[in-house]
Structure 1
Amino acid sequence: MKKLILSAIIVLGSLSTYASMSTTSEQAMTVVSAQAEYTEVNADAVPPAVKTALQTAYPGAKLDKAFVNEKKEYKLEISVGDQKATVFSDVNGNWLKI
């Protein structure tokens, strides 16, 4: 009788090791925009230094839209031939990597 009770305890004990709770962790993803808010400006409002840098770096580029933020950084949507691109520049015409 002792062997029967002992074997039942061992079987039940081994089953309980597989009945562990599965925990799932929910990860909250927070997206932080590294770019500041840009407001659209007229192409005439873009400083000459930025226009010169644009023509030097991208000959034949057409300025489609221009945006500026409070740090006086410019977001320029340009087209060169049939390709479109967005580039970033500071007020002095230095290119920014964002």
Structure 2
Amino acid sequence: MKKLILSAAIVLGGLTTTVATAHNVNPIVKSVSVADEYTEIKLEELPAAVTEALKKAYPDAVVTKAYVNEKKEYKLDVKVGDKEGNLFADANGNWIQK
């Protein structure tokens, strides 16, 4: 009787692994935050093209913090009135959807 229960447990355990593999379930999940990719820079280090694009698209926006990644993409923390948000741009001042 113990062997029967043990065998059933092994078979069910094997099915669970097979089902998880068949559905491409990865038990290890790694989350990457956008903030992990960017390094904070001084506002003075923003390229002129990014600053000009911001003035043109959002004249009332104030940059509170700026970040850059290895691809020279810029993340801007901006405030317009009482609203805050993030904008992303490349070094030429083109907006990036993230």
Query: 2:32, 2:94 → 1: CA distance?
Result: 22
Query: 2:28, 2:80 → 1: CA distance?
Result: 36
Q: What TM-score do the two structures reach when normalised by structure 1? A: 0.68
Give 1 or 2 for the bigger CA radius of gyration: 1
Alpha-carbon deviation of 1:32?
A: 4.7
SS of the residue 2:52 aligns to: helix
Identity %: 44
Structure 1: state its 5+ residue gaps.
1-20
Greater shift, 51-60 or 39-48, is seen at 51-60
Look up the equivalent residue of 1:28 and give its one-letter code: P
Structure 2: state its 5+ residue gaps.
1-11
SS of the residue 1:53 aligns to: helix
Instruction: Confirm whether residue 87 of structure 1 aligns to residue 79 of structure 2.
Output: no
Alpha-carbon deviation of 1:58?
A: 0.8
Within 5 Å, which residues of 2 pair with 1:23-34?
28=27, 30-33=29-32
Alpha-carbon deviation of 1:34?
A: 7.6
Query: 2:97, 2:31 → 1: CA distance?
Result: 17
Query: 2:28, 2:93 → 1: CA distance?
Result: 35
- The aligned counterpart of 1:50 is 50
Query: 1:29, 1:81 → 2: CA distance?
Result: 42
Look up the equivalent residue of 1:64 and give its one-letter code: T
Query: 2:96, 2:61 → 1: CA distance?
Result: 18
Query: 1:33, 1:57 → 2: CA distance?
Result: 29
Alpha-carbon deviation of 1:80?
A: 0.4
Q: How many residues align?
A: 79
Task: Let me know the Cα RMSD of the aligned residues.
Answer: 2.4
